[in-house]
Chains A and B, each alone.
Chain A
């Protein structure tokens, strides 16, 4: 019987570039910026890294295919490098590769890097790809906001909500994330906003206005991992370990069958269930001290609170408005600003979330440091609500 990944692997170093419109940097420079921080943090040399995973989504517009962007950027010593891609879960997938390699005993020290350079396309928003497959013959020319906006229309219909009430809760989420981002020197968007600004912002895809949408950012993040035993040998105390890493891709249920009503994220529920089992969490609302979820749009964060079992079904609006997810709430969410304000360089996002968990667990989060968190959750949702890849991971302090 498999025992899962809980407490087998420790994160011994992390780094994260400043996110934003990095006109000054290409992907190579972003990678290096994050890597240097992680290497110094781990207190090792580059040549002690035995294997590496690179997470990169838009290879066409960004760094290119294969292991090469990472191997070349860091002049790695011909060690095995694997490039992974799983949409917005890409960064977490890079970490999962490194963590599993260490857990398997294939190597002692592994590196995970996620990077995305989105701002060389010449326009705002995510890059468009060339169309030419079967799906393009029938699927709508949807954008990410248009796909996620439908969560709001379906959620409002299911719970018989006035759209204005839902919009107000969505505005609360954005206001909170902007306030958090303002405290984070590496965040893309550092200006606080008011509820009125959020509610009155221009419409992007009904009912999502501009302030319901996360930034399109450049950035990189990185983690160096090793086994708990090796970390001990290295004399490290206060270990942050991986408690769970679970992934659930869609199988067509949401899009091709009437079983799904469009108001929730099916795969997130599946991944959360498995992650809680892997980490031994039985009461997530009480046991989890902080979260970084996939707040690509404000409504996603709201709905995800129910999918993760933090809020009861239909209860997320009340929890949001009660401040449960605010910085000083019961389960602070997006303490670093989230995708909304820290930014969303796709391949880096999962690792950026882990970075915040890591800093908070070690008490190194500066102005935004929470009390004494011991367990944090990260969540990615790659794709669209009707067809996606969800990941749920848990990180905590090692207590053996």
Chain B
């Protein structure tokens, strides 16, 4: 038994927009974007936000983990709720018991790495699921619109058999306003890149790195990989400043995913862990009004986890969206006329939700203790044998289902028509009519196998509320 990182996970949403599509659409306003028009960026579907991204990364992280974490920390600058525990929603989606400590972290792009520093400096008995997710939107034709991405990462930290030990950790606070977003605005305000590089990265990063290395008792020459999610030009300067070989810098995933804000350091770390061997010392750097630096050392336990954890499968599972207006609309930046059906009032009955919150957020159905039939939603009377008050809670969220019937509905309102839904059969008799996600027209078939993902079910723009539920989606890595 030792304290350290016990598991890791990541998630990148399926949708990608080629940067060329943005540049071509906005060239009239910003000809300089052409210079950035390489690769693609990931972006969240209309039914994804920082909560749902975090849930997917958490599921990737907890894949073979039997025990639920004692605490959940959710770091993001784009949490959907300012007052409603976002991590509490995540905890319910992950079927964590009520005694789980939940905490939302934000306020800086370092929110996740600062939490990791804290966990490194204060090892304890309680296991922590550290989640980082960001879903930053940017003003059309801005450099950020080209460079940002959406994604999430997760680390399970605690006592056990670590895949990586935390050898050293340090934070350096410095109120350098390289970029900021006021609490009541949608977009980041970003200052000049050269100033940030020269006064920020090159001067501040070495201070935190030196402190972390000192605590680890290591010299920079002993580091095998550096996780520093920045452009190659920036990385080169930082490499020189910390006297590290620039070749040790891990691919920051900017070309095929984009900069996922708070999530990026952990996402790139997860990418590094996919291929690291035992005994590698990895330096993780987070930047934003200061610097966090964490030194990790991988163990032999990592090997068993590499095939099934991390961002590679999600990066491979991509769907190109080349229509810039569709990208804007899916990110709610363009008011498309979806007709009168879109006007429906989506008020949520909070008391009805509260009564059935486990059913909704955890997709908890019931298993009849008399005839063993699994059913969703659960009811007091078994749908199969009619026995009353006999159902035991059982979630369907981890089950795979088989499509029994489906339709692609061009009439029903959805921000991404057609609305695809159908009847899905689960093991042990359960059967539900469900709305699908991440499928394109023509992809769902009778007998398709689907997995369940946690998504936004509906928005209530009138009351600024959103509700969540589970939807059938393509199997991860299925290429669909």
Q: For the complex, is A2 an interface residue (Cβ under 8 Å from B)?
A: no
How many residue pairs bridge A and B at CB < 8 Å? Answer: 161
Residues of the B chain whose Cβ atoms lie less than 8 Å from the Cβ of A373 = none
Chain A count of residues within 8 A CB distance of the other chain: 48
Contacts of A259 in B (CB 8 A): 384, 429
Q: Is B429 a contact partner of A258 (Cβ separation < 8 A)?
A: yes
Check A150 against B375 for contact (C-beta < 8 Å): no
User: With A and B bound together, what is the CA distance between A253 and B431 in angstroms?
Assistant: 9
Interface string of B131-159 (1 = CB under 8 A from A): 00000000000000000000000000000
B278 at the interface (CB under 8 A from A): no
Task: State the CA gap A258–B339 with chains docked (Å).
Answer: 36
- Does A251 sit within 8 A of B, measured CB to CB? yes
The verdict on A256 contacting B431 (CB below 8 Å), with A131-B344, A205-B407 known, is yes
B353: contacting residue among A137, A262, A384, CB under 8 A: A137
A156 vs B404: C-alpha distance when bound (angstroms):
11
Q: Does B373 contact A (CB under 8 A)?
A: yes
Query: Do A386 and B423 touch (CB < 8 A)?
Result: yes
The answer to the question of B272 belonging to the interface, with a C-beta cut-off of 8 Å to chain A, is no
1/0 per residue A113-153: CB within 8 Å of B?
Answer: 00000000111010011111110111111110111011101
B442 CB to closest chain A CB, in angstroms? Answer: 9
| CB-based contact A204/B433 at 8 Å | no
Across the interface, which residues of B come within 8 angstroms of A137, CB to CB?
348, 352-353, 356, 360, 457, 467, 469
8 Å CB interface, B400-436 against A: 404-414, 418-419, 421-423, 425-426, 429-435
Cβ of B24 < 8 Å from any Cβ of A? no
The residue on A at minimum CB distance from B413 is: A141
Chain A, 144-167, contact with B by CB distance < 8 Å: what is the 0/1 string?
011101110110110000000000
Identify the closest chain A residue to B442 (Cβ).
A206
Q: How far is the CB of A7 from chain B (nearest CB, A)?
A: 35
Q: How far is the CB of B351 from chain A (nearest CB, A)?
A: 10
Do A138 and B360 form a contact, CB below 8 Å, given A143-B412, A252-B383? yes
CB of B375 within 8 A of CB of A131, answer no
The range of chain B's interface size is 35 or more
A399 to chain B, nearest CB (A): 42
Contact of A157 among B340, B359, B429, B447 (CB under 8 A): B447
User: Mostly helix, strand, loop or mixed at chain B's interface?
Assistant: mixed
User: With A140-B435, A141-B414 as given contacts, are A257 and B373 in contact (CB-CB < 8 Å)?
Assistant: yes
Q: Which residue of B lies closest to A145 (CB)?
A: B411
A134 and B446 in contact, given A256-B375, A258-B425 (Cβ under 8 angstroms): no
The verdict on A261 contacting chain B, using a C-beta distance below 8 Å, is: yes
Partner of A138, one of B346, B359, B373: B359
- Chain B residues within 8 Å of A256, by CB: 375-377, 379, 383, 430-432
User: When the two chains form their complex, are residues A150 and B419 in contact, meaning their CB atoms are under 8 A apart?
Assistant: no
Does A203 make an interface contact (CB < 8 A)?
A: yes
Assess the B348–A132 pair: CB atoms within 8 A. Answer: yes
Once the chains bind, are B405 and A150 in contact (CB under 8 Å)? Answer: yes
Asked whether A153 and B406 contact (CB < 8 A) given A131-B345, A141-B412, A141-B414, the answer is yes
Which residues of chain B (329-373) have a CB below 8 Å from chain A? 339-341, 343-349, 352-353, 355-356, 359-360, 373
Given the known interface contacts A123-B340, A252-B379, the answer about A205 and B409 at a Cβ–Cβ threshold of 8 Å is yes
1/0 per residue, CB under 8 A from B, across A248-271: the answer is 000111011111111100000000
Contact of B344 among A130, A138, A156 (CB under 8 A): A130
Q: How far is the CA of A256 from the CA of B414 in the complex (A)?
A: 25
The verdict on B178 contacting chain A, using a C-beta distance below 8 Å, is no
Question: B375 to A257, Cβ gap below 8 A?
Answer: yes
Q: B411 near A141 (CB under 8 angstroms)?
A: no
Q: Are A131 and B458 in contact (CB under 8 A)?
A: yes
Q: Once the chains are docked, how many angstroms separate the CA of A145 from the CA of B433?
A: 14
Within the assembled complex, what's the spacing in Å between the Cα atoms of A34 and B383?
A: 42
A257 touching B360 by the CB < 8 A rule?
no
Residues of A within 8 A of B404 (CB): 154, 261-262
Contact across chains for B430 and A143 when beta carbons are under 8 A apart: no
Give the distance in Å from the alpha carbon of A208 to the alpha carbon of B408 in the complex: 9
Q: Give the residues in chain B near A149, CB-CB below 8 Å.
A: 407, 409
Q: Is the CB–CB distance between B407 and A206 below 8 Å?
A: yes
* Residue contact B352 to A133, C-beta cutoff 8 Å: yes
Specify the chain B residue showing the minimal Cβ separation from A150.
Answer: B405
Contacts of A128 in B (CB 8 A): 340-341, 343-344
Give complex CA distance A131, B414 in Å.
Answer: 15
Residues of A within 8 A of B419 (CB): 140-142, 146
A142 to B411, CA, bound (A): 9
Contact with B along A382-400 (1 / 0, CB 8 A): 0010100000000000000
Q: Which residue of B lies closest to A137 (CB)?
A: B360
In Å, the complex CA distance between A384 and B423 comes to 12
- Contact in complex: B431, A260 (CB < 8 Å): yes
Q: Which residues in B have their C-beta under 8 angstroms from that of A129?
A: 344
Closest 8 CB pairs of A and B: A146-B409, A150-B405, A140-B435, A157-B446, A154-B405, A149-B407, A140-B421, A262-B405
What are 24 A-B pairs with beta-carbon distances under 8 A? A121-B340, A123-B341, A128-B340, A131-B345, A131-B458, A132-B347, A134-B353, A134-B355, A138-B360, A140-B433, A142-B412, A146-B411, A147-B407, A147-B433, A149-B409, A150-B423, A153-B422, A154-B446, A156-B446, A157-B446, A205-B408, A205-B412, A257-B430, A262-B404
Beyond known contacts A134-B349, A138-B457, A140-B421: 9 more, CB 8 A cutoff: A123-B341, A125-B411, A128-B341, A140-B435, A154-B446, A252-B379, A256-B432, A257-B429, A258-B431
